[in-house]
């Protein structure tokens, strides 16, 4: 059944995406036309390109921030049109665009490719390096992004524990006192990937009375006592299956790369307790779709809460949504006014620094 579901998912996503982009193109493609640059001297303006149309407040807030600086121009261009205009820009904020070698080769004036956040899995970093373009992320701990994502993890955990979807059914059916939900009190929560988001999540789980276990590829000696004391049991990458078997809830907080892709697979989910909950606020492809679907169908997986999907935008008709114990949100874990305005300031400041020939601040280079 799950194979059929996956096939249906792929087919439906293809058609839905085509329709979505055709509808969006009319409202945003005009911004990729040359007339957005009329009246400005190319030598006097530093141009920032946002790859749209998703995550709109990233460019809305950045435009607000740079408004007092006439020598900075921020444009949003539909991902389909980016290859045609990228040569006009000095900084590219990729958002959810796949920045491959072909697109990068056209970026003749590009100095910096960056993410409005942390994830750079969509960038061909080797190609950027070859073309002399720096690639950077905005560290999550200084912008409120990590805190925002950790709050979403708790939201999804509570939504699954309290049976959010079933509660709505009870409301619609005029039923009281059902369903019977769960609590974070006394639960063991496994943080898979104890980075900045994991630390913020551990801080917030303490007042709920949860036991926190976490894995990290290495635990440096320099980790401060307050961060270390938040974790009841620490493990390395080799311990992930053992820790999965101890947890009532697993929260995926890893970065996506070749080593972590589909790390939550059949073996991992089979290692989890029957009825345990799985939450993902990192990247969709960290979880194998077939394994998640199959274990929801069998009842082994007690619930799935995800803010990120295998392919985005997510298909609202995907078969996985038939399960009452599945909650999905539209990739908004880090999309809060606090974090987005903080990151808008970072992008704006970087553009100003580039224009004035100053060193970049508050970004982390990966090449």
pLDDT in 10s for each residue of the chain, 367 residues: 555 555 544 444 444 444 444 444 433 433 434 334 333 455 699 999 999 999 999 999 999 999 999 999 999 999 999 999 999 999 999 999 999 999 999 999 999 999 999 999 999 999 999 999 999 999 998 899 999 999 999 999 999 999 999 999 999 999 999 999 999 999 999 999 999 999 999 999 999 999 999 999 988 776 555 777 899 999 999 999 999 999 999 999 999 999 999 999 999 999 999 999 999 999 999 999 999 999 999 999 999 999 999 999 999 999 999 999 999 999 999 999 999 999 999 999 999 999 999 999 999 999 9
45's tokens:
């303006």
Alpha-carbon dihedral angle through residues 83, 15, 265, 162, given to the nearest 10 degrees:
110
> Does pTM top 0.85 for this prediction?
yes
Q: Which CATH topology does 145-328 take? A: Rossmann fold (3.40.50)
* Alpha helices, H only, 247-364: 266-271, 289-298, 337-356
304 DSSP assignment? E
Domain ranges in the chain are 21-139+337-365, 145-328
pLDDT (0 to 100) of residue 221? 73
235: left (phi over 0), alpha (psi -120 to 50) or beta: beta
| CA 256 from centre of chain | 10
Q: How many CB atoms lie within 10 A of CB 318?
A: 23
Question: In angstroms, rounded to a whole number, what is the distance separating the alpha carbons of residues 309 and 292?
Answer: 12
3-class SS at 1? coil
Q: From residue 147, how far is each of 154, 216, 271, 317 by CA, in Å?
A: 11, 19, 29, 31
Positive/negative CA dihedral, 258, 199, 282, 347: negative
Specify whether the CB–CB gap between 280 and 149 falls below 8 A. no
CATH, domain 21-139+337-365, list 3.30.420.40, 3.40.50.150, 3.40.50.300, 3.40.50.720: 3.40.50.720
228's tokens:
């270390």
- Put the strands of the sheet holding 72-78 in their side by side order: 72-78, 46-52, 91-93, 112-114, 134-137, 364-365
* Alpha helices, H only, the chain: 2-28, 56-66, 82-85, 101-105, 125-130, 145-161, 164-172, 196-205, 225-228, 240-246, 266-271, 289-298, 337-356
Same fold, 21-139+337-365 and 145-328: yes
pLDDT (0 to 100) of residue 229? 85
At which residue do the structure tokens 């920045």 appear? 99
């Amino acid at each position: 059944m799950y194979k059929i579901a996956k096939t249906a998912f792929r087919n439906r996503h293809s058609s839905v995406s085509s329709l979505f982009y055709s509808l969006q193109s009319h409202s945003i493609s005009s911004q990729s036309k040359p007339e957005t640059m009329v009246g400005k001297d190319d030598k006097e303006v530093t141009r920032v390109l946002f790859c749209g149309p998703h995550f709109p407040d990233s460019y809305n807030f950045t435009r607000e921030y740079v408004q007092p600086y006439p020598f900075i121009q921020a444009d949003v261009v539909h991902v389909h049109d980016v290859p045609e205009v990228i040569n006009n820009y000095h900084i590219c904020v990729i958002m959810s665009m796949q920045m491959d070698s072909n697109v990068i080769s056209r970026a003749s004036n590009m100095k910096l490719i960056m993410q409005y956040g942390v994830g750079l899995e969509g960038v061909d970093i080797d190609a950027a390096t070859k073309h002399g373009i720096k690639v950077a992320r905005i560290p999550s701990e200084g912008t409120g992004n990590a805190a925002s994502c950790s709050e979403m993890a708790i939201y999804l955990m509570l939504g699954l524990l309290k049976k959010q979807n079933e509660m709505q059914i009870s409301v619609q059916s005029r039923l009281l006192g059902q369903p019977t939900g769960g609590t974070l009190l006394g639960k063991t929560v496994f943080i898979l990937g104890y980075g900045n988001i994991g630390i913020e999540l551990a801080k917030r789980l303490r007042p709920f009375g949860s036991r926190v276990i976490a894995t990290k590829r290495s635990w440096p000696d320099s980790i401060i006592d307050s961060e270390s004391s938040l974790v009841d049991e620490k493990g390395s990458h080799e311990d992930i299956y053992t820790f999965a078997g101890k947890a009532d809830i697993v929260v995926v907080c890893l970065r996506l790369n070749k080593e972590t892709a589909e790390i939550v697979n059949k073996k991992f989910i089979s290692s989890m307790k029957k009825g345990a909950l799985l939450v993902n606020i990192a990247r969709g492809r960290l979880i194998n779709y077939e394994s998640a679907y199959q274990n929801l169908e069998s009842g082994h997986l007690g619930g799935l809460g995800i803010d990120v999907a295998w392919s985005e935008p997510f298909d609202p008709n995907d078969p996985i949504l038939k399960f009452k114990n599945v909650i999905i949100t539209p990739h908004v874990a880090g999309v809060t006014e606090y974090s987005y305005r903080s990151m808008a300031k970072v992008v704006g400041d970087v553009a100003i620094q580039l224009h004035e020939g100053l060193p970049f601040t508050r970004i982390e280079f990966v090449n």
